[in-house]
Amino acid sequence: MPTERIYLHDDQCVRTTTVVTAVAPGMFATVASPFFVGGGGQPADSGVVDGVPITAVAVDEHDTIWHHSNATVQVGQSVNLVVDVAHRTVVSRYHTVLHILNTLALQRYQAWLTGAAITTEYGRIDLAIAQIDDEMVADLHTNMNAVIAANHAVHAYQMSAAEFATRPDLLRTINVQPPVHHGYVRVVEITGFDAQACGGTHVRQTSDIGPCEIYKTENKGKQNKRIYVRFAAT
């Protein structure tokens, strides 16, 4: 039975009361879940069910979200699912700033995104570009923080796969197409700045990210360079 992925239409939701639909050793499924399942470089959520830790979540071939937990639950039981808010918030801040960075890299340097990763310590993107120098880093740093400070609203919406196919401007990667979920692609828009396909979680407005710094770059190949960003010390 497919699980309703609450974060796809409300990525600010961190708790819900729902009903258990299936139980297996060490895990259970529910009608709906606010837990992000991981993907696009963003790690999955953790949290609790009625106070008992949920250590991981995963999706099966039936689009069922399985919550890994030692909690004792039964099919038909009502449970309270609560996401680890601190973890979700940090990851969402990093995910949103990576949107800003990959858009600036494409707009200003024609550098397409080739990969991304997010932790609670940093975010990083890989770009299809031959060279990154100090001038480019300084330019990206300045413009990244200008977009953050401008306090653009951030929101998500669904677009049919057919319409998405006519919108190449929503792509940030050359070789990887975004997932289609029940015939739709999720688009995340930073109002007045950018819109791109994405299934992850983000902040409500760019000022929620806070000042950031590009603190390291790496050469990962002839046409692949890596940029690391973290929250600036306050």
Q: Which stretches of the chain drop beneath a pLDDT of 50? A: none
Whole-model pTM: value is 0.95
191: Cβ contacts below 8 Å, ≥ 6 apart: 152, 153, 154, 155
3-state secondary structure of 159: strand
Burial of 138 (0-12, 13-18, 19+ CB in 10 A): exposed
CATH of domain 4-83: 2.40.30.130
Q: Which of 125, 120, 103, 97 is nearest to 40 (CA)?
A: 125
CATH of domain 87-231: 3.30.980.10
Give me the residue spans of the domains in the chain: 4-83, 87-231
Question: In this structure, how many other beta carbons lie within 10 angstroms of the beta carbon of residue 64?
Answer: 16
Task: Give whole-number Cα distances, 118 to 23, 122, 155, 170, in Å.
Answer: 31, 6, 20, 21
Q: Do domains 4-83 and 87-231 have the same CATH topology?
A: no
pLDDT at 173: 87
Residues 113, 102: Cα–Cα separation, whole Å: 6
Q: pLDDT, tens digit, for every residue of 128-160?
A: 999 999 999 999 999 999 999 999 999 999 999
